[in-house]
Structure 1
Amino acid sequence: MGQILFKSNQKPPYVVLMGLDGAGKTTLLSRLQWGKRMDTSPTVGFNVGTLELARGIALTVWDVGGQGEMRTNWKYYLDDCKALVFVVDGEDRSRLGEAQKALKKVLKEESIKKVPLMVLVNKKDVPNSMTIREVSTQLDLPSNKDRDWEIQACSAYTGLGLQQAFLSVAQLIKKQ
């Protein structure tokens, strides 16, 4: 991983964090930024933060609200993004179909046609959370043949897997 993703005089690559409401996007971003769990409330609009992942590796992450009425605006956050991170609530099987529809709609946007995708299955610390295979199948990720994508499990609550997931996002961007 020792290679530099961006030069110090450049802005870090822009990554969009999306997913249904309640998936844990804001908790995830605050855990990465501050190293601890913060009390959060539903995002109206967006949150933004720069993550220093390692020496020479940073990402600017836009966390976009996931409520139904916000999803119609998701496309406006996609211009110039270098990666899409889609967060799924790994505990909520009842909304996986809704998540699949939302993700498919975003992936059809012309502005992100070749942008890599990272799917994070959040709440891995919760008993009976979905497996990566289960989520991958339900979201039909293997059909994304013209896009680099990965799926990883994580826990915004405990921090499990977050650093590695975003280092993987940085590697996906670098491959482009």
Structure 2
Amino acid sequence: MSEHMQLSLALCRIGLYTCFRALCCKGPPPPRPEYDVVCIGLMAAGKTSLLSRLCSEGSDRIVPTTGFSIKAVPFPNAILNVKELGGADNIKKYWCRYYQGSQGVVFVLDSASSDEDLEAARAELHSALQHPQLCTLPFLILANHQDRPAARTPNQIKKYFELEPLARGKRWILEGTSTEHMDGVKEVFSQFILLLEDKDTPPARI
């Protein structure tokens, strides 16, 4: 056997051994942390649509939540177990029964809603921010439906909802969202996960 062939065979053996070691000795990837999050907001704010799109579910499967539902929403660095509560008037009064065990809050509002509905959303957010079981948790506030002509900007929402005085010292993010731009939705959820991990993240962001 020529020296060239012997060298080639040796290199092949080394390559096969390296592949074998990589396959046999590589342990399972470390588990992603999981966080239990409650998602609230008035009816038609878009909670179900946003969560379903994050889970890559088809639009034909999206139906409004009438009671509550739980979705495991995967992200590269974490899994959010999101408990979505329906926003109908006859359900809102029971929201507080589902707050226990939550590690974060997602509040979704329709930024293009009527003034009356926006005022109702404001009242519900204020109530959640001051609730004993939620007041110390990080909040992700989504001004949804930004693709609609009547949508108010996040800065307008921030001013109208008086977030600066009410949420001072709390960990919260306010961001405009739309199901038409899911990359932006995923990015803001990634920022929210940093708050859940309690890393060196500013207490408020808009």
Q: Please report the TM-score for the alignment, with normalisation by the length of structure 2.
A: 0.75
| Aligned residue number for residue 3 of structure 1 | none
Q: SS of the residue aligned with 2:197?
A: helix
Q: How many angstroms apart in 1 are the aligned matches of 2:176 and 2:32?
A: 33
Q: SS of the residue aligned with 2:80?
A: strand
Q: CA deviation at 1:61?
A: 0.9
| Aligned residue number for residue 103 of structure 2 | 82
Q: How many angstroms apart in 1 are the aligned matches of 2:59 and 2:151?
A: 20
For residue 91 of structure 2, the aligned residue among 70, 93, 114 is: 70
Q: CA deviation at 1:38?
A: 4.1
- Residues 96 and 139 in structure 1, CA contact (< 8 A), matched pair in contact too: no
- Residues 78 and 193 in structure 2, CA contact (< 8 A), matched pair in contact too: yes
| Aligned residue number for residue 59 of structure 1 | 80
- Larger helix share, 1 or 2: 2
Q: How many angstroms apart in 1 are the aligned matches of 2:74 and 2:32?
A: 15
For residue 179 of structure 2, the aligned residue among 142, 156, 161 is: 156
The answer for unaligned runs of 5 or more in structure 2 is: 1-29, 200-206
Q: CA deviation at 1:127?
A: 2.1
For residue 50 of structure 2, the aligned residue among 4, 10, 28 is: 28
In the TM superposition, what whole-angstrom CA distance separates every residue of 1:146-169 from its partner, at most 9, and x where no partner exists?
311110111135425210121111
| Aligned residue number for residue 4 of structure 1 | none
1:168 aligns to 2:191 (yes or no): yes
For residue 121 of structure 2, the aligned residue among 99, 111, 121 is: 99
Q: Which letter maps to 1:150?
A: I
Structure 1 residues 9 and 98: alpha-carbon distance in aligned structure 2, compared to 1, 3 A threshold: closer
Structure 1 residues 9 and 166: alpha-carbon distance in aligned structure 2, compared to 1, 3 A threshold: closer
CA RMSD across the alignment: 1.9
Q: How many angstroms apart in 1 are the aligned matches of 2:186 and 2:32?
A: 24
Once the two structures are superposed, the pairs formed by residues 120-131 of structure 1 within 5 Å of their partners are: 120-131=142-153
Q: Which letter maps to 1:75?
A: C
- Residues 25 and 63 in structure 1, CA contact (< 8 A), matched pair in contact too: yes
The answer for unaligned runs of 5 or more in structure 1 is: 1-6
In the TM superposition, what whole-angstrom CA distance separates every residue of 1:117-151 from its partner, at most 9, and x where no partner exists?
11101111222311001111111111211311110
Q: SS of the residue aligned with 2:182?
A: coil
- Residues 30 and 38 in structure 1, CA contact (< 8 A), matched pair in contact too: no
- Residues 15 and 59 in structure 1, CA contact (< 8 A), matched pair in contact too: yes
Is the radius of gyration larger for structure 1 or structure 2?
Answer: 2
Q: SS of the residue aligned with 1:170?
A: helix
Q: SS of the residue aligned with 1:137?
A: helix
Structure 1 residues 136 and 38: alpha-carbon distance in aligned structure 2, compared to 1, 3 A threshold: farther
Bigger relative contact order (CA 8 A; separation at least 6):
1
Task: Give the fraction of aligned pairs with identical amino acids, expressed as a percent.
Answer: 26
Deviating more after overlay: 16-25 vs 88-97 = 88-97
| Aligned residue number for residue 8 of structure 1 | 31
Structure 1 residues 165 and 37: alpha-carbon distance in aligned structure 2, compared to 1, 3 A threshold: farther
- Residues 70 and 81 in structure 2, CA contact (< 8 A), matched pair in contact too: yes
Q: Please report the TM-score for the alignment, with normalisation by the length of structure 1.
A: 0.87
